[in-house]
Structure 1
Amino acid sequence: MSSSRIVVTGIGATTPIGGTAPESWSALLAGESGARSLEHDWVAKYELPVTFAASARVPADTVLARPEAKRLDPSSQYALVAAREAWADAGTPDVDPERLGVDFATGIGGLWTLLDGWDTLREKGPRRVMPMSVPMLMPNAPAAAISMYLEARAYARTVASACASSTESIVNAVEHIRLGLADVVIAGGTESVIHPITLAAFSSMQALSRRNDDPAHASRPYSIDRDGFVMGEGAAALVLETEEHARARGARIYAVVAGGAVTADSYHITAPEPEGLGASRAVLQALAQADASVDDVTHINAHATSTPTGDIAEYKALLSVFGDRVHEIPVSATKGSTGHLLGGTGALEAVFTVLALHNRIAPPTINITEQDPEIPLRVGEAVELGDGDHVAISNSFGFGGHNAVAAFRSI
């Protein structure tokens, strides 16, 4: 097992606030929102109670070549766009294909392909169903598309653990490099399910904000009047490798992926464990793996979906880990800007955490009209982190009681 530090040498993202990682980061710092009204005919057709979402700022099929895009579900399209950016950003490493791996996640998979195919079957018959439907809808399609594009032959693995999926993929990538299964891994996650069925279903469980008249301010983590999350879409990717490998090829290093952990609540299929017990264990295990103490942490990118119960459960978890010191640590709840990318959200927030350490600034959290007094975190304005060593964590929690936390160090 390798004892070398694992570092981030490339990042990519296509999000509701930008078509690339730098564009998304700049928009995040500027306090922009990616939420906007949906202009699809099906919004009125199905009389959806929620008429807005955080759609990707740049549609993936406008970036990829048309023949390529036609053979990929939107979730795979976004994954490929983000992965290509991350790979180029890493300097297109010259690595033996059998030493290059892919850990890429999704929470739901190729929903558009599946449901479009069902509509075609019902309306036009079986002969009109696309022969590529199954390869396009399967959850491992994004990982497969990336591995074929990069000729990555060490492995191509997929995690599907709801909204914890892509953070878990990053944790897995770290473990796989340490086990010697690959020298370089591209890790991340993707989601594209802004669809009538998901909007209707999440609305039925009262999980989505219904601020149809003000989409840009609907996602408001920690605000006392928060009323649910805003669905987002897009993808993010990180190139990971050992520090020795990175320095040998003269790569730029953004940050160190110091550790990570995965736990389970075993409590409820949708609700978080009220005291955040599983979440707090994940934080502590991630810090232990990173050889860091709770006093070393100087920044937290919170899961903070803007739901009434979820935000409080996470706060209780953080309070149990850090004690009163948690009120001094700069916290960023970036879903206020991006909405919730479901299976892609952890990777995007990992990218934001890496950039926060690299640029020494904790990004702002927007839309807090009045902070919930039950969640007295240091959140809101951007905070300069200053010089010196920094440790940051990025939290992700998902339906089914899945918890995943990644810990990063400044370089």
Structure 2
Amino acid sequence: MQDVNLYIKPWMLLNIRYSGDCLDKRDRIRFTTVPNQDSPSGKENQLHSPSRDAGALFKSSDIKSASLEDLWENLSLKPTNSPHVNLSATLSPKVINEVWQEETIGRLLQLVDLSLLDSLLKQRDIVPKALQPTRQPDLIYNSSYLDRRILKAYSDAQEDEWLSAATDCVEYLPDQMVVDISRNFPEQPHRTDIVKGLLFDAIGSYYSHRAPLLNHLSDVHNGIAELLVNGNTEIALEATQLFLKLLDSPNREEFRRLLYFMAVAAHPSEFKLQKESDNRMVVKRIFSKAIVDNKNLCKGKTDLLVLFLMDHQKDVFKIPGTLHKIVSVKLMALQEGRDPNSEAGYIYCQRMDQMDYPNSTQKTTKDELLNLVKTIDEDSKLSAKEKKKLLGQFYKSHPNIFIEYFGA
């Protein structure tokens, strides 16, 4: 019989019940179909579970946690039943990333009106000015490493969303700040208010001196803010999702953790950050410059953008369905050796046959010239003398259009 390895994580033990089913639904879906030992024919067990179909494709020992980007890079978009697809052909991560970036920028340009495109056309990785804590194996002998583990263990034991979100942000704090938190830790474990105060002050202090996380593509900030000002929330959300998709992975993950902590800490029912101030306003004031510090964006629009990100923190990191669809079609075309631009992508102009181009240009030019002479003739703001002068200049350059318009 084929061996099947089942990994039981510590958190799964919390789901064990003393009566009824041993495991809840979210645990059961992790088990694949197991061959029936009692069946003489060796057929699979016929018990139905949500993971039964997936069991034909994956072994339980092969299931690993992965980021969306990792899954996408290893995903084959070729239909298994197509005789025209070379199953041995694969696309390199570089090609896949280029398609993602090209289509993300294309869609963003459709949603946001940009006066300058330099920031999009010259996309560069962000190099944070602040020194980031390294994570190396020898840190296991470092006291700060132990302090981090203790804080994490304390947070897990409390089962407090606020503490959990804050502890995730502590991962980015320098070692000395973590040591200071540990040294000031209260002797009474139940004093979570003191712990939360220490964590919030440390995280706020660090991010008040850190380079802004979203200062890439600064031209886009104003475009999204304008959408919000005009009440186009849905379009602003998609534009924000595309904007964050262009952020490099390390900074994207750090921003995701910070934004989640901000959203939790800003809730009015959570730990009171300052006695005479609303939590939401305190969080916005302390962390705004850690997110966006754009001199071309007024304070009102900056505040609006930051509050929008906090309120939609559960959605801003999702990938728009439209982008998913267009990228998958392009990658499919590339795998099949077809021109990816022939049937996929965002179209900004109408395709035209080469034979029709000369006639089209002549007609378009003629129509625009007729509109121009009509505008001059009907402009009531022009004096008779100015109008006569402009029409005379037009006649010298385009006599045929002039005659056609006035019917002379």
Question: TM-score per shorter chain, which class?
Answer: under 0.3
Taking structure 1 as the reference length, the TM-score comes to 0.23
Larger radius of gyration: 2
Structure (1 or 2) with the greater helix fraction: 2
Structure (1 or 2) with the greater strand fraction: 1
The higher-RCO structure (CA 8 Å, 6+ apart) is 1
